Amino acid sequence: MSDFALLDLFREEVDTHAGVLTAGLIALEAGPAGPGQIEPLMRAAHSLKGAARVLGLDAAVGIAHAMEDGLVAAKEGRLELSPARVDVLLKGVDWIVALAQVDESDLPAWLVAQADAADDLERRLRHLEQVEPGTAGGSSGPAEPPAIAEAAPPPSETEAVAVSAAPVPEPVSTGAPDRSVKISAEVLNRIISLASESLVEAHRMEDMLAGLETTRRGLGRLAAVLQKEDQGASALRLLEEIRGGLGRTLEELDAHARRAASTAESQFREVVAGRMRPFEEGTRSFPRQVRDLARELGKQVHFEIGGGTTLVDRDILAKLEAPLGHLLRNALDHGLEPPEQRRASGKPETGSLRLEARHHAGLLLISVSDDGRGVDRERLRRKIVERNLTTAALATQMTDAELFDFLFLPGLSTRDVTSRVSGRGVGLDVVQSMVHAEGGSASVESAAGRGTVFRLQLPVTRSVVRALLVRLGGEPYAFPLARIGYLAALEPSELKTIEGRSYFVADGANVALVAARELLGMEAPDTMADRIHAVVLMNQGEAFAIEVDDFLGESELVVRPMDTRFGKVPHLSAVSVAEDGMPVLILDVDDLFRSIASMLSGGLAVGRRGRSAPERQRVRRILVVDDSITVRELERRLLENQGYEVDVAVDGMEGWNALGLGRYDLVVSDVDMPRMNGIELVRRIRADARFERLPVMIVSYKDREEDRMAGLEAGADYYLAKSGFRDDTLIQAVRELIGEAAV
């Protein structure tokens, strides 16, 4: 075997054993350790030593050997694994991990450059008893562990800091190794597509069987006619032989079809399961990160991870590390109080921090919760007013949900003083951007003095979706089941109309009805149906009904992304293939919600049974695009107070969809938004002949000259920084671009 192949094996072994050592050491430093807890760590260090010796990596051999000796001393009761001594052991793990990450061509030079550091680290590992239990372990290695926050000044030697974690059980051997191979995501996606097609082909046999069964019944009727008309006995015997042979063939084919469908279904599910990974695989670094940051901040925390076996799509799992890291940092720095403050408020000195994942109603729910001080609402209100994001009057009227939305804005921090750990307002916007990009949502709950919970709601997988199939214009479309509240079959008499809007009453609430054909730009049907079929979609307490031609039933669809050459197609998220081989377009529920909300808030008629009343006068209309609910509301009120008609959109994609539904005289857009940012929106507007003369104003937090030039180069007509935003500056800019409200 080549050295290159051996180095790859060494990297895999380091990945496995370093994880065991890190998790085990963090669990052990919380209290006295028994021999059974230390033995797995000794074996891991011993295995690393042997693997390094095979490759001739003497420095790694020495460090691993010294770690093993220290763990043996701890097992025999000769050495206490204090946090400071665990620091040194973890730095040994870090050094070996850093070594494994070096490219083969750079390895000799790297080892030479790190020789002194390796010698110093090995020396301190061999003399762990000289590291005082109350002192910091110091720094020696070139490889610092990945941090979830910028480093803060370490606590003084007299500060009492501690981190505990739930015990990490030793893996139980089953006698048979878990044999695995690596496969690229692209190859796996193609295999899933082939498995899907295999499943479709297997189900097509059912149609063939149905055709043959029809033929068999026809032969039976023909035999009855011949017998009745007293035809020749020979003809009847021949016909009976044909019927009998056809019956036997049908039985064999039916059995074959059932086996083929069962095999294809099993194959399909097994292949799809290949994309799913346990949640714990994406959280292995968090106990170490939490432990290190807590020590830096001088805080004590008990950190738990729940739902480690919850299965998550590998692509989503890979994207969760940064957002969850930011949430953990936020909880440690902003949420949990120092021990003396917790003591003064009657709390245990050790705070509680929990990361949990679970499945619910076809969705992946992830929560990060702490029992800290909670969000300071008054401080947050003051900060958003200082940033000119809203007025003091509006800020005092906001609900918790509206107020907490500001936590996700880029650049916003509730800290008065900037430190190396926080105060820059960077982090939570990353969380929201990732969640929105994956078709999910984020929310915050907080109780003063009792803690805060951040909740993320995401699809379990981006590969398969359980969906309701509906018919529109003779073609199948799909609604993801997770977003459907219920289905309704209505009599035309149950519909009511107010100001051109169709709605019906369900459980005492008015539910607006919108025709899917209108949203998708399709022609209205030639004839009116006797009953109205509606899919009621639910989102954060809101319900909208979308009228479709017919329900076709539920199905599990393999999700295939749209061709990137199409860009983002409004109201569509992906494509698939139904069991009968027909292509299916999967609808983007978030797009539909935003378009419906925009239509309703703008006073447009919705549903093919209602039409808007003619305008009495021509008033200039403005589309405001911003992902902050408060900024949208503030700008809308300012403009409406000047007589303009205003529609709103929550991001660039909804704004683009709104432009296709109505006529506007001006677009006012933010820059940083999920799905489609403001720069992309401006470029798309300028690239479309329908809107090339439409004025566009950018209103953004970004006030650097390069940001302003980027917006203007994209095609914006005006760039206004929110940092200098005042009521009169916005109105004056609007008037410069389109004039007064009335034409």
Three-state DSSP string of 22-41:
HHHHHHHCCCCCCHHHHHHH
pLDDT at residue 567, rounded to an integer: 64
Cα–Cα distance measured from residue 663 to residue 661, given in angstroms and rounded to the nearest whole number: 7
**Digit-coded pLDDT (tens) for 277-300:** 889 888 888 998 898 899 889 999
Which amino acid is residue 314, in one-letter code? R
pLDDT at residue 265, rounded to an integer: 66
Helix locations, 627-726, DSSP H: 629-641, 652-661, 678-687, 705-714
Can you tell me which residue has the tokens 């051109």? Answer: 500
Is pLDDT above 50 for 605?
Answer: no
Beta strands across the sheet bearing 542-548: 484-490, 532-539, 542-548, 509-515, 501-506, 496-498
pLDDT at residue 340, rounded to an integer: 94
Higher pLDDT, 455 or 566: 455
Is pLDDT above 90 for 371?
Answer: yes
- Which of 249, 265, 267, 262 has its CA nearest to residue 208? 249
Is pLDDT above 80 for 169?
Answer: no
Average pLDDT of 343-366? 89
In DSSP terms, 506 is beta-bridged to 509
**Residue 184 in tokens:** 């690229």
Average pLDDT of 290-312? 90
pLDDT at residue 651, rounded to an integer: 84
What is the chain's mean pLDDT, rounded? 78
- Percent of residues, the chain, with pLDDT higher than 70: 76
Cα–Cα distance measured from residue 97 to residue 145, given in angstroms and rounded to the nearest whole number: 9
Average pLDDT of 409-426? 56
**Digit-coded pLDDT (tens) for 620-668:** 899 999 877 767 878 888 898 888 989 888 888 888 888 877 788 999 9
Contact 56, 11 (CB under 8 A): no
Contact 452, 444 (CB under 8 A): yes
In Å, how far are 47, 63, 108, 142, 342 from 57, measured between CA atoms?
A: 13, 10, 10, 16, 48
Is pLDDT above 70 for 168?
Answer: no
- Which of 115, 113, 116, 14 has its CA nearest to residue 55? 14
Which amino acid is residue 407, in one-letter code? L
pLDDT at residue 588, rounded to an integer: 85
Q: pTM of this prediction?
A: 0.56
pLDDT at residue 526, rounded to an integer: 74
**Digit-coded pLDDT (tens) for 504-528:** 888 777 888 988 998 888 888 877 7
DSSP type of residue 509: E
**Digit-coded pLDDT (tens) for 343-354:** 999 999 999 999
**Digit-coded pLDDT (tens) for 134-166:** 544 444 333 343 334 333 333 433 333 444 444
User: Residue 391 phi/psi, 5° resolution?
Assistant: -90, 160
- Band of the pLDDT at 207, cuts 50, 70, 90? low
Which range has the top average pLDDT, 158-172, 192-206, 388-402? Answer: 388-402
Higher pLDDT, 275 or 535: 535
Contact 524, 514 (CB under 8 A): no
**Residue 297 in tokens:** 């901040």
Contacts of 429-432 with C-beta under 8 Å, sequence gap 24+, read 429/672, 430/322, 430/323, 430/326, 431/323, 431/326, 431/327, 431/456, 432/408, 432/674
Cα–Cα distance measured from residue 133 to residue 528, given in angstroms and rounded to the nearest whole number: 81
Instruction: Give the list of residues 6+ apart from residue 296 with CB closer than 8 angstroms, or none.
Output: 151, 152, 153, 154, 155, 421
Contact 255, 278 (CB under 8 A): no
Residues in the chain: 743
Burial class (CB in 10 A: 0-12, 13-18, 19+), 107: middle
pLDDT at residue 471, rounded to an integer: 92
3-class DSSP state for residue 635?
Answer: helix
Between 8-17, 171-180, 195-204, 252-261, the lowest mean confidence (pLDDT) is in 171-180
